[in-house]
Chains A and B, each alone.
Chain A
Protein backbone atom coordinates (compact mmCIF):
# COMPACT_ATOMS: atom_id res chain seq x y z
CA UNK A 1 0.00 0.00 0.00
CA UNK A 2 2.81 2.41 0.81
CA UNK A 3 4.39 1.66 -2.53
CA UNK A 4 1.69 3.62 -4.33
CA UNK A 5 3.07 6.98 -3.24
CA UNK A 6 3.93 8.88 -6.40
CA UNK A 7 6.05 11.52 -4.67
CA UNK A 8 9.00 12.38 -6.87
CA UNK A 9 8.31 9.45 -9.16
CA UNK A 10 10.18 9.31 -12.42
CA UNK A 11 9.06 7.50 -15.58
CA UNK A 12 12.16 6.86 -17.69
CA UNK A 13 11.71 7.60 -21.38
CA UNK A 14 13.38 9.07 -24.42
CA UNK A 15 11.04 11.79 -25.67
CA UNK A 16 11.81 15.44 -26.40
CA UNK A 17 10.48 16.37 -22.98
CA UNK A 18 12.75 13.82 -21.30
CA UNK A 19 15.79 15.01 -23.22
CA UNK A 20 15.38 18.69 -22.37
CA UNK A 21 17.96 20.04 -19.96
CA UNK A 22 16.60 19.93 -16.39
CA UNK A 23 17.37 23.64 -16.04
CA UNK A 24 15.14 24.38 -19.01
CA UNK A 25 12.37 22.29 -17.55
CA UNK A 26 12.56 23.93 -14.14
CA UNK A 27 12.46 27.38 -15.75
CA UNK A 28 9.55 26.32 -17.94
CA UNK A 29 7.59 25.12 -14.94
CA UNK A 30 8.10 28.49 -13.28
CA UNK A 31 6.96 30.20 -16.49
CA UNK A 32 4.00 27.82 -16.65
CA UNK A 33 2.88 28.60 -13.09
CA UNK A 34 3.14 32.35 -13.66
CA UNK A 35 1.21 31.98 -16.93
CA UNK A 36 -1.43 29.86 -15.22
CA UNK A 37 -2.11 32.60 -12.70
CA UNK A 38 -2.54 35.11 -15.53
CA UNK A 39 -5.39 33.02 -16.91
CA UNK A 40 -8.56 35.08 -16.98
CA UNK A 41 -11.77 33.95 -18.63
CA UNK A 42 -12.49 30.75 -20.51
CA UNK A 43 -10.11 31.40 -23.41
CA UNK A 44 -7.17 31.73 -21.05
CA UNK A 45 -7.99 28.49 -19.25
CA UNK A 46 -8.58 26.68 -22.50
CA UNK A 47 -5.17 27.81 -23.74
CA UNK A 48 -3.34 26.60 -20.61
CA UNK A 49 -5.23 23.29 -20.71
CA UNK A 50 -4.30 22.87 -24.33
CA UNK A 51 -0.62 23.54 -23.64
CA UNK A 52 -0.65 21.11 -20.70
CA UNK A 53 -2.26 18.38 -22.78
CA UNK A 54 0.19 19.01 -25.60
CA UNK A 55 3.19 18.67 -23.29
CA UNK A 56 1.74 15.53 -21.73
CA UNK A 57 1.26 14.03 -25.17
CA UNK A 58 4.82 14.94 -26.17
CA UNK A 59 6.21 13.25 -23.06
CA UNK A 60 4.11 10.11 -23.66
CA UNK A 61 3.03 10.17 -20.01
CA UNK A 62 -0.37 8.56 -19.74
CA UNK A 63 -3.23 10.73 -18.54
CA UNK A 64 -3.99 8.11 -15.92
CA UNK A 65 -0.60 8.70 -14.25
CA UNK A 66 -1.42 12.41 -14.22
CA UNK A 67 -4.71 11.82 -12.44
CA UNK A 68 -2.91 9.62 -9.93
CA UNK A 69 -0.93 12.69 -8.91
CA UNK A 70 -4.10 14.77 -8.59
CA UNK A 71 -6.04 12.22 -6.54
CA UNK A 72 -4.54 13.01 -3.10
CA UNK A 73 -5.58 16.66 -3.62
CA UNK A 74 -9.22 15.86 -4.44
CA UNK A 75 -10.45 16.94 -1.02
CA UNK A 76 -8.84 20.37 -1.26
CA UNK A 77 -10.08 20.77 -4.82
CA UNK A 78 -13.65 19.93 -3.79
CA UNK A 79 -13.50 22.27 -0.80
CA UNK A 80 -12.23 25.15 -2.94
CA UNK A 81 -15.00 24.54 -5.44
CA UNK A 82 -17.67 24.50 -2.72
CA UNK A 83 -16.43 27.70 -1.13
CA UNK A 84 -16.39 29.42 -4.49
CA UNK A 85 -19.91 28.25 -5.32
CA UNK A 86 -21.38 29.63 -2.12
CA UNK A 87 -19.32 32.73 -1.55
CA UNK A 88 -19.40 34.43 -4.93
CA UNK A 89 -21.89 37.21 -5.40
CA UNK A 90 -23.65 37.73 -8.71
CA UNK A 91 -26.82 36.71 -10.46
CA UNK A 92 -28.48 33.72 -8.72
CA UNK A 93 -29.25 30.63 -10.82
CA UNK A 94 -32.82 30.98 -9.60
CA UNK A 95 -34.20 33.96 -7.74
CA UNK A 96 -33.57 33.55 -4.03
CA UNK A 97 -30.78 30.96 -4.32
CA UNK A 98 -27.32 31.56 -2.91
CA UNK A 99 -25.68 29.76 -5.81
CA UNK A 100 -24.81 32.17 -8.59
CA UNK A 101 -23.76 31.69 -12.21
CA UNK A 102 -20.55 33.56 -11.43
CA UNK A 103 -19.92 31.24 -8.48
CA UNK A 104 -20.31 28.16 -10.63
CA UNK A 105 -17.95 29.53 -13.26
CA UNK A 106 -15.41 30.49 -10.64
CA UNK A 107 -15.62 27.07 -9.01
CA UNK A 108 -14.91 25.31 -12.29
CA UNK A 109 -12.05 27.69 -13.03
CA UNK A 110 -10.51 27.24 -9.59
CA UNK A 111 -10.72 23.47 -9.89
CA UNK A 112 -9.11 23.65 -13.29
CA UNK A 113 -6.40 25.92 -11.94
CA UNK A 114 -5.43 23.51 -9.14
CA UNK A 115 -5.53 20.44 -11.41
CA UNK A 116 -3.38 22.21 -14.01
CA UNK A 117 -0.96 23.42 -11.35
CA UNK A 118 -0.45 19.89 -10.08
CA UNK A 119 -0.25 18.37 -13.56
CA UNK A 120 2.34 20.87 -14.73
CA UNK A 121 4.66 20.29 -11.81
CA UNK A 122 4.15 16.53 -11.95
CA UNK A 123 5.14 16.60 -15.60
CA UNK A 124 8.52 17.89 -14.44
CA UNK A 125 9.13 15.14 -11.87
CA UNK A 126 7.68 12.44 -14.14
CA UNK A 127 10.11 13.24 -16.95
CA UNK A 128 13.24 14.24 -15.01
CA UNK A 129 15.34 11.86 -12.91
CA UNK A 130 15.81 13.09 -9.33
CA UNK A 131 19.56 13.40 -9.87
CA UNK A 132 19.10 15.54 -12.98
CA UNK A 133 16.53 17.60 -11.11
CA UNK A 134 18.80 18.34 -8.16
CA UNK A 135 21.75 18.93 -10.50
CA UNK A 136 19.71 21.42 -12.51
CA UNK A 137 18.48 23.13 -9.37
CA UNK A 138 22.00 23.45 -8.03
CA UNK A 139 23.26 25.01 -11.26
CA UNK A 140 20.30 27.37 -11.48
CA UNK A 141 20.73 28.51 -7.89
CA UNK A 142 24.52 28.74 -8.18
CA UNK A 143 24.52 32.57 -8.24
CA UNK A 144 22.99 32.48 -4.74
CA UNK A 145 26.23 30.95 -3.45
CA UNK A 146 27.68 34.45 -3.57
CA UNK A 147 25.08 35.43 -0.99
CA UNK A 148 26.32 32.53 1.18
CA UNK A 149 23.22 30.44 0.54
CA UNK A 150 24.32 26.80 1.03
CA UNK A 151 23.06 25.70 -2.40
CA UNK A 152 25.22 22.60 -2.72
CA UNK A 153 24.34 21.38 0.77
CA UNK A 154 20.64 21.91 0.14
CA UNK A 155 20.62 20.05 -3.15
CA UNK A 156 22.68 17.13 -1.85
CA UNK A 157 20.28 16.82 1.07
CA UNK A 158 17.42 16.76 -1.38
CA UNK A 159 18.94 14.04 -3.51
CA UNK A 160 19.78 11.96 -0.41
CA UNK A 161 16.20 12.30 0.77
CA UNK A 162 14.94 11.11 -2.60
CA UNK A 163 17.44 8.24 -2.58
CA UNK A 164 16.22 7.04 0.81
CA UNK A 165 12.47 7.28 0.20
CA UNK A 166 12.20 3.73 -1.19
CA UNK A 167 14.49 2.38 1.52
CA UNK A 168 12.48 3.99 4.29
CA UNK A 169 9.18 2.92 2.74
CA UNK A 170 10.22 -0.72 2.63
CA UNK A 171 11.47 -0.37 6.19
CA UNK A 172 8.12 1.05 7.30
CA UNK A 173 6.38 -1.88 5.65
CA UNK A 174 8.66 -4.26 7.52
CA UNK A 175 8.07 -2.60 10.89
CA UNK A 176 4.32 -2.55 10.28
CA UNK A 177 4.31 -6.26 9.49
CA UNK A 178 6.34 -6.95 12.60
CA UNK A 179 3.91 -4.98 14.75
CA UNK A 180 0.90 -6.59 13.11
CA UNK A 181 2.39 -10.02 13.73
CA UNK A 182 2.37 -9.10 17.42
CA UNK A 183 -1.23 -8.05 17.32
CA UNK A 184 -1.04 -4.32 16.60
CA UNK A 185 -4.17 -2.88 15.02
CA UNK A 186 -3.77 -0.01 12.56
CA UNK A 187 -7.09 -0.17 10.75
CA UNK A 188 -9.90 0.09 13.27
CA UNK A 189 -10.88 2.50 16.01
CA UNK A 190 -11.28 6.24 16.13
CA UNK A 191 -8.91 8.63 14.43
CA UNK A 192 -6.98 9.37 17.64
CA UNK A 193 -6.70 5.66 18.37
CA UNK A 194 -5.31 4.99 14.94
CA UNK A 195 -2.91 7.90 15.23
CA UNK A 196 -1.71 6.52 18.55
CA UNK A 197 -1.25 3.11 16.97
CA UNK A 198 1.23 4.66 14.55
CA UNK A 199 3.58 5.61 17.36
CA UNK A 200 5.16 2.13 17.62
CA UNK A 201 5.98 2.45 13.91
CA UNK A 202 7.39 5.95 14.01
CA UNK A 203 9.73 5.39 16.94
CA UNK A 204 11.72 2.49 15.44
CA UNK A 205 11.61 4.18 12.05
CA UNK A 206 13.19 7.34 13.42
CA UNK A 207 15.77 5.43 15.41
CA UNK A 208 16.86 3.49 12.35
CA UNK A 209 16.77 6.57 10.12
CA UNK A 210 19.21 8.31 12.45
CA UNK A 211 21.44 5.25 12.49
CA UNK A 212 21.34 5.14 8.71
CA UNK A 213 22.20 8.82 8.47
CA UNK A 214 25.18 8.26 10.73
CA UNK A 215 26.49 5.33 8.71
CA UNK A 216 25.85 7.15 5.45
CA UNK A 217 27.86 10.13 6.65
CA UNK A 218 30.82 7.89 7.50
CA UNK A 219 30.54 6.10 4.14
CA UNK A 220 30.40 9.44 2.28
CA UNK A 221 33.41 10.76 4.15
CA UNK A 222 35.44 7.68 3.44
CA UNK A 223 34.66 8.22 -0.24
CA UNK A 224 36.37 11.59 0.05
CA UNK A 225 33.23 13.73 0.27
CA UNK A 226 34.24 17.15 1.55
CA UNK A 227 31.48 19.50 0.49
CA UNK A 228 30.86 21.06 -2.91
CA UNK A 229 34.28 22.64 -3.27
CA UNK A 230 36.35 21.27 -6.13
CA UNK A 231 33.68 18.74 -7.02
CA UNK A 232 33.22 17.71 -10.65
CA UNK A 233 30.36 15.88 -12.34
CA UNK A 234 30.40 12.83 -14.52
CA UNK A 235 27.32 13.95 -16.40
CA UNK A 236 27.77 17.47 -17.69
CA UNK A 237 24.59 19.37 -18.40
CA UNK A 238 24.60 21.12 -21.73
CA UNK A 239 22.03 23.49 -23.19
CA UNK A 240 21.14 22.39 -26.72
CA UNK A 241 19.17 24.01 -29.49
CA UNK A 242 15.98 22.33 -28.37
CA UNK A 243 16.38 24.01 -24.98
CA UNK A 244 16.55 27.42 -26.64
CA UNK A 245 13.47 26.65 -28.71
CA UNK A 246 11.58 25.39 -25.66
CA UNK A 247 12.48 28.50 -23.67
CA UNK A 248 11.43 30.80 -26.52
CA UNK A 249 8.13 28.96 -26.85
CA UNK A 250 7.66 29.26 -23.09
CA UNK A 251 8.30 33.00 -23.33
CA UNK A 252 5.79 33.39 -26.16
CA UNK A 253 3.22 31.46 -24.15
CA UNK A 254 3.69 33.70 -21.13
CA UNK A 255 3.48 36.86 -23.27
CA UNK A 256 0.29 35.56 -24.85
CA UNK A 257 -1.29 34.91 -21.47
CA UNK A 258 -0.39 38.36 -20.19
CA UNK A 259 -1.75 39.97 -23.35
CA UNK A 260 -4.95 37.97 -23.03
CA UNK A 261 -5.37 39.10 -19.44
CA UNK A 262 -4.98 42.78 -20.29
CA UNK A 263 -7.49 42.35 -23.12
CA UNK A 264 -10.06 40.87 -20.73
CA UNK A 265 -9.69 43.64 -18.17
Chain B
Protein backbone atom coordinates (compact mmCIF):
# COMPACT_ATOMS: atom_id res chain seq x y z
CA UNK B 1 0.00 0.00 0.00
CA UNK B 2 1.21 3.52 -0.80
CA UNK B 3 2.15 5.23 2.49
CA UNK B 4 0.06 8.27 3.42
CA UNK B 5 3.11 10.38 4.35
CA UNK B 6 6.43 9.99 2.61
CA UNK B 7 9.65 11.90 3.34
CA UNK B 8 12.33 11.52 0.70
CA UNK B 9 15.80 12.57 1.84
CA UNK B 10 14.54 15.82 3.38
CA UNK B 11 17.05 18.52 4.31
CA UNK B 12 16.06 21.73 6.03
CA UNK B 13 17.96 24.61 7.59
CA UNK B 14 16.14 27.47 9.35
CA UNK B 15 16.96 30.85 7.80
CA UNK B 16 19.93 32.33 9.64
CA UNK B 17 20.96 29.02 11.21
CA UNK B 18 24.28 27.37 10.51
CA UNK B 19 23.28 23.85 11.45
CA UNK B 20 20.82 21.78 9.50
CA UNK B 21 17.67 20.97 11.48
CA UNK B 22 16.82 18.02 9.28
CA UNK B 23 19.66 16.27 7.53
CA UNK B 24 18.42 13.67 5.11
CA UNK B 25 15.28 12.27 6.68
CA UNK B 26 13.50 9.51 4.80
CA UNK B 27 10.30 8.07 6.24
CA UNK B 28 7.13 6.37 5.17
CA UNK B 29 4.08 6.41 7.41
CA UNK B 30 1.25 3.95 6.84
CA UNK B 31 -2.37 4.97 6.70
CA UNK B 32 -4.27 4.48 9.95
CA UNK B 33 -1.21 3.99 12.13
CA UNK B 34 -0.29 5.77 15.36
CA UNK B 35 3.27 6.97 15.08
CA UNK B 36 5.01 8.52 18.05
CA UNK B 37 8.06 10.72 17.53
CA UNK B 38 10.39 11.09 20.49
CA UNK B 39 13.44 13.28 20.89
CA UNK B 40 14.97 15.89 23.18
CA UNK B 41 14.79 19.62 22.51
CA UNK B 42 16.36 20.61 19.22
CA UNK B 43 16.36 17.09 17.84
CA UNK B 44 14.35 18.18 14.82
CA UNK B 45 11.06 16.59 15.82
CA UNK B 46 9.03 19.80 15.59
CA UNK B 47 10.72 20.68 12.32
CA UNK B 48 9.69 17.26 11.08
CA UNK B 49 6.09 17.94 12.10
CA UNK B 50 6.00 21.33 10.39
CA UNK B 51 7.01 19.69 7.12
CA UNK B 52 3.92 17.52 7.17
CA UNK B 53 1.48 20.30 6.34
CA UNK B 54 3.70 22.62 4.37
CA UNK B 55 4.35 25.19 7.08
CA UNK B 56 7.95 24.43 6.20
CA UNK B 57 9.02 23.21 2.77
CA UNK B 58 12.21 21.14 2.36
CA UNK B 59 15.38 22.84 1.07
CA UNK B 60 16.26 19.55 -0.57
CA UNK B 61 14.33 16.33 -1.10
CA UNK B 62 10.54 16.25 -0.91
CA UNK B 63 7.56 15.46 1.27
CA UNK B 64 4.54 13.71 -0.23
CA UNK B 65 1.14 13.63 1.44
CA UNK B 66 -0.94 10.99 -0.34
CA UNK B 67 1.25 11.56 -3.35
CA UNK B 68 0.89 15.38 -3.29
CA UNK B 69 4.16 17.30 -3.05
CA UNK B 70 3.99 19.87 -0.21
CA UNK B 71 6.14 22.24 -2.27
CA UNK B 72 3.31 22.52 -4.83
CA UNK B 73 1.78 25.93 -4.04
CA UNK B 74 -1.28 25.17 -6.14
CA UNK B 75 -2.28 22.36 -3.80
CA UNK B 76 -1.31 24.02 -0.52
CA UNK B 77 -4.87 24.13 0.85
CA UNK B 78 -5.38 20.54 -0.24
CA UNK B 79 -2.39 19.43 1.82
CA UNK B 80 -3.37 21.52 4.83
CA UNK B 81 -6.93 20.23 4.79
CA UNK B 82 -5.66 16.65 4.83
CA UNK B 83 -3.12 17.19 7.59
CA UNK B 84 -4.46 18.77 10.76
CA UNK B 85 -1.91 20.29 13.13
CA UNK B 86 -2.27 20.71 16.88
CA UNK B 87 0.40 22.79 18.58
CA UNK B 88 1.99 22.99 21.98
CA UNK B 89 0.43 26.14 23.43
CA UNK B 90 -3.36 25.86 23.53
CA UNK B 91 -3.80 29.62 24.04
CA UNK B 92 -2.00 30.52 20.84
CA UNK B 93 -4.04 28.39 18.48
CA UNK B 94 -7.56 29.26 19.56
CA UNK B 95 -8.84 32.12 17.42
CA UNK B 96 -12.37 32.80 18.64
CA UNK B 97 -14.03 33.92 21.87
CA UNK B 98 -16.50 31.05 21.92
CA UNK B 99 -15.59 27.37 21.68
CA UNK B 100 -17.96 26.53 18.81
CA UNK B 101 -16.88 29.55 16.78
CA UNK B 102 -13.30 28.42 17.10
CA UNK B 103 -14.10 24.92 15.89
CA UNK B 104 -15.94 26.47 12.93
CA UNK B 105 -12.88 28.48 11.89
CA UNK B 106 -11.25 25.89 9.61
CA UNK B 107 -14.41 24.83 7.73
CA UNK B 108 -15.31 28.51 7.33
CA UNK B 109 -11.91 29.09 5.73
CA UNK B 110 -12.57 26.18 3.39
CA UNK B 111 -15.85 27.71 2.28
CA UNK B 112 -18.07 24.89 3.54
CA UNK B 113 -21.85 25.44 3.55
CA UNK B 114 -23.18 26.92 6.85
CA UNK B 115 -25.46 23.97 7.64
CA UNK B 116 -22.64 21.52 7.00
CA UNK B 117 -20.29 23.56 9.22
CA UNK B 118 -22.84 23.37 12.04
CA UNK B 119 -23.00 19.59 11.64
CA UNK B 120 -19.23 19.17 11.59
CA UNK B 121 -18.74 21.46 14.60
CA UNK B 122 -21.23 19.49 16.69
CA UNK B 123 -19.78 16.14 15.59
CA UNK B 124 -16.18 17.23 16.28
CA UNK B 125 -17.03 18.61 19.71
CA UNK B 126 -18.84 15.37 20.63
CA UNK B 127 -15.88 13.34 19.43
CA UNK B 128 -13.49 15.05 21.85
CA UNK B 129 -16.09 15.19 24.62
CA UNK B 130 -16.39 18.99 24.66
CA UNK B 131 -19.92 19.36 23.29
CA UNK B 132 -21.30 20.59 26.61
CA UNK B 133 -18.76 23.41 26.60
CA UNK B 134 -19.61 24.68 23.10
CA UNK B 135 -20.82 28.07 24.32
CA UNK B 136 -17.96 28.63 26.78
CA UNK B 137 -15.17 31.16 26.51
CA UNK B 138 -11.92 29.31 25.73
CA UNK B 139 -9.81 31.26 28.20
CA UNK B 140 -11.90 29.91 31.08
CA UNK B 141 -11.23 26.25 30.21
CA UNK B 142 -8.47 24.07 31.65
CA UNK B 143 -5.37 23.30 29.59
CA UNK B 144 -6.53 19.81 28.69
CA UNK B 145 -9.95 21.09 27.65
CA UNK B 146 -8.42 23.85 25.51
CA UNK B 147 -6.21 21.30 23.79
CA UNK B 148 -9.26 19.11 23.09
CA UNK B 149 -11.01 22.14 21.59
CA UNK B 150 -7.94 22.64 19.41
CA UNK B 151 -8.16 18.99 18.32
CA UNK B 152 -11.88 19.43 17.53
CA UNK B 153 -11.01 22.52 15.49
CA UNK B 154 -8.70 20.38 13.39
CA UNK B 155 -11.11 17.43 13.07
CA UNK B 156 -13.75 19.79 11.66
CA UNK B 157 -11.62 19.98 8.50
CA UNK B 158 -12.10 16.19 8.20
CA UNK B 159 -8.41 15.47 7.74
CA UNK B 160 -6.96 12.03 7.16
CA UNK B 161 -3.89 12.79 9.24
CA UNK B 162 -3.53 14.56 12.57
CA UNK B 163 -0.13 15.78 13.66
CA UNK B 164 0.16 16.72 17.33
CA UNK B 165 3.30 18.69 18.11
CA UNK B 166 4.01 18.24 21.84
CA UNK B 167 0.34 18.77 22.73
CA UNK B 168 0.89 17.86 26.38
CA UNK B 169 4.04 19.88 27.10
CA UNK B 170 2.14 22.60 28.97
CA UNK B 171 -0.49 20.45 30.68
CA UNK B 172 -0.92 18.90 34.11
CA UNK B 173 -1.16 15.07 34.44
CA UNK B 174 -4.97 15.12 34.19
CA UNK B 175 -4.87 17.22 31.01
CA UNK B 176 -2.12 15.05 29.55
CA UNK B 177 -4.22 11.96 30.05
CA UNK B 178 -7.27 13.61 28.39
CA UNK B 179 -5.26 14.61 25.32
CA UNK B 180 -3.38 11.34 24.92
CA UNK B 181 -6.51 9.21 25.16
CA UNK B 182 -8.32 11.51 22.68
CA UNK B 183 -5.43 11.11 20.23
CA UNK B 184 -5.49 7.33 20.58
CA UNK B 185 -9.25 7.10 20.13
CA UNK B 186 -9.03 9.13 16.91
CA UNK B 187 -6.66 6.56 15.52
CA UNK B 188 -8.20 3.37 16.91
CA UNK B 189 -11.90 4.21 16.57
CA UNK B 190 -11.83 6.58 13.58
CA UNK B 191 -8.98 5.13 11.61
CA UNK B 192 -7.14 8.44 11.35
CA UNK B 193 -3.40 8.47 10.91
CA UNK B 194 -1.88 10.12 13.99
CA UNK B 195 1.64 11.48 14.27
CA UNK B 196 2.27 12.25 17.92
CA UNK B 197 5.33 14.27 18.84
CA UNK B 198 6.38 14.29 22.47
CA UNK B 199 9.23 14.02 24.91
CA UNK B 200 7.24 11.99 27.42
CA UNK B 201 8.21 8.39 26.69
CA UNK B 202 5.26 7.00 28.68
CA UNK B 203 2.84 8.49 26.12
CA UNK B 204 4.44 6.40 23.35
CA UNK B 205 4.02 2.96 24.90
CA UNK B 206 0.83 2.06 23.05
CA UNK B 207 1.89 3.52 19.69
CA UNK B 208 2.18 1.27 16.64
CA UNK B 209 5.53 2.72 15.81
CA UNK B 210 8.11 4.83 17.59
CA UNK B 211 10.62 7.07 15.85
CA UNK B 212 13.46 8.63 17.82
CA UNK B 213 14.90 11.82 16.36
CA UNK B 214 18.39 13.03 17.13
CA UNK B 215 20.27 15.99 15.62
CA UNK B 216 17.99 16.09 12.60
CA UNK B 217 18.29 12.39 11.87
CA UNK B 218 16.17 9.34 12.58
CA UNK B 219 18.10 7.58 15.37
CA UNK B 220 15.72 4.67 15.87
CA UNK B 221 12.56 3.45 14.22
CA UNK B 222 10.47 0.44 15.16
CA UNK B 223 7.78 -0.78 17.55
CA UNK B 224 8.02 0.81 21.01
CA UNK B 225 9.20 -2.52 22.47
CA UNK B 226 12.03 -2.76 19.92
CA UNK B 227 13.13 0.84 20.37
CA UNK B 228 13.02 0.85 24.16
CA UNK B 229 14.93 -2.43 24.31
CA UNK B 230 17.93 -0.53 22.98
CA UNK B 231 18.62 1.16 26.32
CA UNK B 232 22.12 2.15 25.31
CA UNK B 233 20.77 4.29 22.46
CA UNK B 234 18.04 5.79 24.58
CA UNK B 235 20.53 6.76 27.26
CA UNK B 236 22.85 8.29 24.67
CA UNK B 237 19.93 10.38 23.43
CA UNK B 238 19.19 11.52 26.96
CA UNK B 239 15.76 9.90 26.85
CA UNK B 240 14.06 7.91 29.55
CA UNK B 241 13.10 4.30 29.14
CA UNK B 242 9.90 2.98 30.76
CA UNK B 243 10.52 1.63 34.26
CA UNK B 244 9.20 -1.73 33.11
CA UNK B 245 11.93 -2.08 30.49
CA UNK B 246 14.60 -1.21 33.02
CA UNK B 247 13.19 -3.65 35.58
CA UNK B 248 13.00 -6.54 33.13
CA UNK B 249 16.53 -5.86 31.98
CA UNK B 250 17.89 -5.88 35.48
CA UNK B 251 16.03 -9.07 36.31
CA UNK B 252 17.45 -10.70 33.20
CA UNK B 253 20.91 -9.57 34.13
CA UNK B 254 20.35 -11.19 37.51
CA UNK B 255 19.56 -14.45 35.76
CA UNK B 256 15.76 -14.51 35.74
CA UNK B 257 14.36 -15.98 32.52
CA UNK B 258 11.64 -13.78 31.06
CA UNK B 259 9.91 -14.09 27.70
CA UNK B 260 8.56 -11.07 25.81
CA UNK B 261 8.85 -7.30 26.24
CA UNK B 262 5.69 -5.89 27.86
CA UNK B 263 5.80 -2.09 28.26
CA UNK B 264 2.69 -1.41 30.32
CA UNK B 265 2.85 -1.97 34.07
CA UNK B 266 0.22 -4.69 34.43
CA UNK B 267 1.39 -7.15 31.75
CA UNK B 268 4.90 -6.67 33.10
CA UNK B 269 3.79 -7.51 36.64
CA UNK B 270 1.98 -10.54 35.27
CA UNK B 271 5.13 -11.72 33.49
CA UNK B 272 7.28 -11.35 36.59
CA UNK B 273 4.68 -13.08 38.75
CA UNK B 274 4.60 -16.06 36.39
CA UNK B 275 8.37 -16.26 36.31
CA UNK B 276 8.51 -16.19 40.09
CA UNK B 277 5.82 -18.86 40.30
CA UNK B 278 7.79 -21.12 37.95
CA UNK B 279 10.89 -20.61 40.05
CA UNK B 280 9.24 -21.47 43.34
CA UNK B 281 7.77 -24.66 41.82
CA UNK B 282 11.25 -25.80 40.88
User: Taking beta carbons and an 8 Å cutoff, which residues of A are in contact with B?
Assistant: 129-131, 159-160, 162-163, 166-167, 170, 212, 215-216, 218-226, 230-236
Contact in complex: B55, A162 (CB < 8 Å): no
Residues of A contacting B80 with CB < 8 Å? 221-224
Closest CB in chain B relative to A5 CB, distance in Å: 14
Complex Cα gap A129–B136 (Å): 12
Which applies to chain A's interface (DSSP): helix, strand, loop or mixed? Answer: helix
Complex Cα gap A70–B239 (Å): 58
User: Taking beta carbons and an 8 Å cutoff, which residues of B are in contact with A?
Assistant: 50, 53, 55, 77, 80-81, 83-85, 87, 89, 91-98, 100-101, 104-114, 117-118, 121, 137, 139, 153-154, 157
Contact in complex: A215, B93 (CB < 8 Å): yes
Known A-B contacts A233-B108, A233-B114; A163 and B97 likewise in contact (beta carbons under 8 Å)? yes
Residues of B contacting A130 with CB < 8 Å? 97
Residues of A contacting B105 with CB < 8 Å? 220, 223, 225
Complex Cα gap A220–B106 (Å): 8
Contact in complex: B91, A224 (CB < 8 Å): no
Known A-B contacts A129-B97, A234-B121; A215 and B92 likewise in contact (beta carbons under 8 Å)? yes
Residues of A contacting B113 with CB < 8 Å? 232
Contact in complex: B108, A234 (CB < 8 Å): yes
Considering the complex, give the chain A residue whose CB is closest to the CB of B54: A222
Contact in complex: A167, B91 (CB < 8 Å): yes
Residues of A contacting B154 with CB < 8 Å? 223
Residues of A contacting B106 with CB < 8 Å? 223-224
Contact in complex: A170, B92 (CB < 8 Å): no
Closest CB in chain A relative to B158 CB, distance in Å: 12
Contact in complex: A223, B157 (CB < 8 Å): yes
Complex Cα gap A259–B46 (Å): 68
Considering the complex, give the chain A residue whose CB is closest to the CB of B118: A234
Complex Cα gap A58–B93 (Å): 37
Contact in complex: A159, B85 (CB < 8 Å): no
Complex Cα gap A131–B157 (Å): 21
Residues of B contacting A218 with CB < 8 Å? 50, 55, 87
Other CB < 8 Å A-B pairs besides A163-B95, A163-B96, 13 of them? A159-B97, A212-B89, A215-B92, A219-B92, A220-B95, A222-B84, A223-B105, A223-B109, A224-B106, A234-B107, A234-B108, A234-B114, A234-B121
Contact in complex: A216, B95 (CB < 8 Å): yes
Residues of A contacting B118 with CB < 8 Å? 234
Complex Cα gap A231–B113 (Å): 10
Closest CB in chain A relative to B50 CB, distance in Å: 8
Residues of B contacting A232 with CB < 8 Å? 107-108, 111-114, 117
Residues of B contacting A221 with CB < 8 Å? 55, 80
Residues of B contacting A231 with CB < 8 Å? 108-109, 111
Complex Cα gap A215–B90 (Å): 10
Residues of A contacting B81 with CB < 8 Å? 224
B87 contacts which of A162, A215, A225, A230 (Cβ < 8 Å)? Answer: A215
Considering the complex, give the chain A residue whose CB is closest to the CB of B100: A234
Considering the complex, give the chain A residue whose CB is closest to the CB of B94: A163
Contact in complex: A226, B87 (CB < 8 Å): no
Listed from nearest, the 5 A-B pairs whose CB atoms lie closest are A219-B93, A215-B92, A234-B104, A223-B106, A222-B85
Residues of B contacting A160 with CB < 8 Å? 95
The listed residue with most B CB atoms (<10 A of its CB), out of A160, A212, A222, A226, is A222
